[in-house]
Structure formats: C-alpha cells, structure tokens
C-alpha cells in the first residue's frame, strides 16, 4: 500500500507539451526545498513507510533503503521524461531518500527493542551497496540520454543574469529560443529578458519565475473542456511554483474580451483571511499557455500579524463615515502591505454615486492606503 500511494502521488496523468524535459540536480534553494517547505516535508514523510515496512518485511534494511533510493530517482526521471509539469528535481529525490532512511532507522530500532533479527550486517551492506550502485549507474545512463540536466553550472555558478536567462528561457519556451535582451531592474531584485518567442521576468539572484508573456498572444481556437484547461494550468503552476500552490485554491474564470481565453488563478485563504499570493495563468482553448504572473509566493502568516480586533460592522461603519453618502455593501479580510509592512485589512466595498473600495486596518480601525502592487 505504501508503494501504491507513492506511485499515485508522484506519477500524475500525462499532459503533453506542458513542460520541457529537464532535470534540476543542483538548482538554487535545494536544501530549503527539502527542509523548509511543506512539499519537502511531505516528500520525506511519503517514504518513511517504505523504509520502515520494507525493512520489517524483508529484514534487509540496507538493501531496502537502496531500493527506495532507486525508486525515488526512477520516479523523478520518469516525471521528467513525461513532461507532465511535476518535473525531475534532485531535492525531491533527496527528501524521499531521507524519509526511507528514517523509516529504516525506526525499523532497526524496533527490531532490536523487540529482540528480533534486524538483518543488518556485512551481507546486507554488500548487497545494498550493489543494488544502489547498479541502480544509480543504470538510471544515470537513462537520465543523460533522455533529459537536459540543469547542474550547478546552470544556476549557482551563473553570476550574471545574461548567463541564467537562456537556461530559464529554454525551460519556458523550449529549445532553440533566441535571447534578444536581458535587463536588471533598478532595485537589483528582478531581471527581464526578451526572446523571439516572448518576454519573461525572474527574481534575482534566486531565479524564481515572476511573469512571462508569449510573443503570440492570439488565442487559438480549440474545444478543450474547462476540466482539461484546469489541468494544463495546474501543470504549469506545478512546474514553476510547486511550493506556493500546495494549499492554495485554484479557480478557472473567463479572460478579458480582448483575449478570448481562460485565466487559471491560485489564491490562498487562511483563517478566513485572503493571503497575498497571486498566481494567474492565461490559457487559450487549445491548451496553450499565453501568459502567467505570480507574486508574494508565501507572504506572512496571519498569526504573525497584529490581531484583527475590528469587526466587519465596525469596518463598514468607519468606511461609511469617511465617505458620506456611500453605503457599505460587503467586506472581507485580506493581507496587504502598508508603508512596506504587512497588515491585516478589511476591504470594504462602497456604493453611491459610484462603486469603489476602501481599506480599513483590522487592528486600529484606521482608513489606510495599501502600497501599490497585487
């Protein structure tokens, strides 16, 4: 059952053409992705049962651990070959392997405590080493022959934006894309690159995709159902922002009249508060991703902000008092920056001679103006 659960979770359905066939073996934030993100923690937990029950069942903890490592590597490579948006990433394999090691350790401890034979010894070490080495050699050959490997030379040692831009452009637009220009923002935190297939912006130096727009924004006709379009949007988001969308809510809505396409959104709500995460992916009816934008991937936790002591009715009353003649219709809590500080605000919609919105600080009751941005 543990093996079946691993396969169900890590091998989603094939979505053709949604990602380039690459494998990131040394990208930025590798350790952070393993130990400081929810997906990294889940990847560890997922393999604990495999390491635990395999060692208990076969009494060959090191052989079982080696098999788990090979399984994790094979799964990542298969995902990269299928190009289904999950991608091939060394951080996931490392997290899975750590989980299997923890499971094996628990099994060994349990067997010793119960006075049973652990199977741990010279023979288990030799066999486990053989399984691990043989599996890694075979999988390395498969990896090298089927995927483009992104190494430390693609990320860590690329100190110039002009060096990193072609790597990300290749993942985004496919092979053969031509870079036309690369410019670093004045604040030094983002880079915009123009190509013959579109433009994109990424954070610097962390290389996180912030936005992209295809050079051809003409929405192609097609007959894909909303469910399939949602899968395409989810696949794209999983490829570029997997840690950000883990507990976010996706929705599919119509696009603008100028571009007859669908927009796939991700928003996060925690404790009734709309978090600052914004991910918007525009997809035409043929399933082609036309553009995407993302901001505030994680943001603050509501518990870390001043408590919301102002009620909805008080917020509405305050907004009406600051705007005589206007009537508050509804309000909801959200988090935005005010003077570069995250704050919990009431967004109050008012109607009168015109419809407009007012923001009320949920802690102080003051009318405030959020910083510009999403």
Residue-number span of the structural domain to which 312 is assigned: 302-368
Secondary structure of 122-142 in HEC code, one letter for each residue: HHHHHHHHHHHHHHHHHHHHH
Domain shared by 20 and 133, yes or no: yes
Domain shared by 134 and 199, yes or no: no
Domain shared by 7 and 123, yes or no: yes
Residue 249 pairs with which residues in a beta bridge? 267
Domain shared by 361 and 241, yes or no: no
| Residue 315 vs residues 303, 324, 327: alpha-carbon distances, Å | 20, 14, 12
Beta carbons of 259 and 217 less than 8 angstroms apart: yes
Domain shared by 133 and 72, yes or no: yes
pTM of the model: 0.57
Domain shared by 283 and 313, yes or no: no
Structure tokens at 364: 């102080």
| Residue 352 vs residues 154, 328, 329: alpha-carbon distances, Å | 56, 9, 10
DSSP sequence for 291-360: EEEEE-SS---GGGS----S-HHHHHHHHHHHSTT-EEEEEEEEEEEETTEEEEEEEEEEESSSEEEEEE
Reduced to 3 states (helix: H, G, I; strand: E, B; else coil), residue 278 is strand
33-57 residue pLDDT tens: 677 666 678 889 999 999 999 999 9
Domain shared by 227 and 308, yes or no: no
356-371 residue pLDDT tens: 899 999 999 999 999 8
Q: Which of 84, 349, 113 is nearest to 237 (CA)?
A: 84
- Residue 155, in any domain of the structure: no
Structure tokens at 124: 């288990």
- Residue 164, in any domain of the structure: no
- Residue 170, in any domain of the structure: no
Instruction: Give pLDDT, residue 68.
Output: 95
**Sites in the chain below the pLDDT cut of 50:** 1, 3-5, 7-9, 11-20, 28, 84-85, 156, 158
Domain shared by 284 and 325, yes or no: no
Domain boundary residue among 253, 275, 295? 295
Reduced to 3 states (helix: H, G, I; strand: E, B; else coil), residue 199 is strand
Q: Give the chain's domain count.
A: 3
Domain shared by 209 and 287, yes or no: yes
Beta carbons of 173 and 44 less than 8 angstroms apart: no
Domain shared by 17 and 35, yes or no: yes
Instruction: Give pLDDT, residue 355.
Output: 84
Domain boundary residue among 99, 134, 150? 150
Domain boundary residue among 275, 295, 315? 295
- Residue 373, in any domain of the structure: no
Q: What is the CATH number of the domain that holds 328?
A: 3.10.450.40
Domain shared by 52 and 126, yes or no: yes
Domain shared by 135 and 28, yes or no: yes
């Amino acid at each position: 059952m543990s093996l079946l659960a691993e396969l169900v979770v890590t091998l989603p359905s094939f979505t053709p053409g949604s990602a380039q066939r690459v494998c990131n073996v040394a990208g930025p934030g590798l350790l952070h992705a393993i130990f400081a993100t929810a997906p990294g923690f889940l990847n560890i937990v997922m393999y604990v049962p495999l390491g635990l029950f395999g060692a208990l069942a076969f009494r060959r903890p090191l052989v079982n651990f080696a098999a788990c490592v090979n399984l994790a590597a094979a799964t990542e490579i298969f995902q990269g070959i299928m190009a289904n948006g999950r991608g091939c990433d060394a951080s996931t394999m490392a997290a899975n392997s750590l989980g299997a090691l923890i499971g094996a350790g628990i099994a060994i401890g349990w067997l010793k405590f119960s006075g049973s034979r652990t199977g741990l010894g010279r023979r288990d070490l030799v066999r486990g080493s053989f399984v691990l080495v043989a599996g890694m050699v075979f999988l390395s050959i498969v990896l090298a022959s089927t995927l483009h490997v992104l190494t430390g030379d693609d990320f860590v040692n690329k100190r110039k934006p002009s060096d990193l831009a072609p790597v990300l452009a290749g993942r985004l637009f496919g092979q053969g894309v031509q870079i036309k220009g690369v410019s670093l923002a004045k604040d030094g935190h983002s880079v915009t690159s123009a190509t013959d297939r579109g433009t994109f912006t990424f954070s610097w130096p962390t290389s996180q995709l912030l936005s992209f727009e295809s050079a051809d924004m003409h929405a192609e006709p097609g007959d894909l159902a909303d469910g399939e379009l949602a899968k395409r949007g989810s696949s794209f988001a999983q490829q570029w922002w997997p840690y950000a969308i883990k507990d976010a809510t996706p929705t599919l809505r119509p696009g603008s009249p100028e571009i007859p396409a669908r927009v796939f959104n991700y928003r996060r709500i925690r404790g009734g508060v709309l978090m600052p995460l914004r991910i918007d992916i525009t997809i035409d009816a043929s399933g082609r991703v036309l553009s995407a934008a993302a901001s505030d991937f994680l943001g603050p936790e509501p518990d870390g902000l001043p408590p919301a002591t102002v009620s909805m009715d008080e917020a509405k009353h305050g907004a009406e008092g600051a705007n005589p003649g206007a009537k508050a219709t509804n309000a909801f809590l959200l988090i935005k920056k005010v003077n570069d500080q995250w704050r919990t605000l009431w967004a109050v919609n008012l109607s009168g001679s015109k419809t407009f919105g007012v923001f009320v600080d949920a802690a102080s009751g003051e009318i405030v103006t959020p910083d510009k941005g999403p």
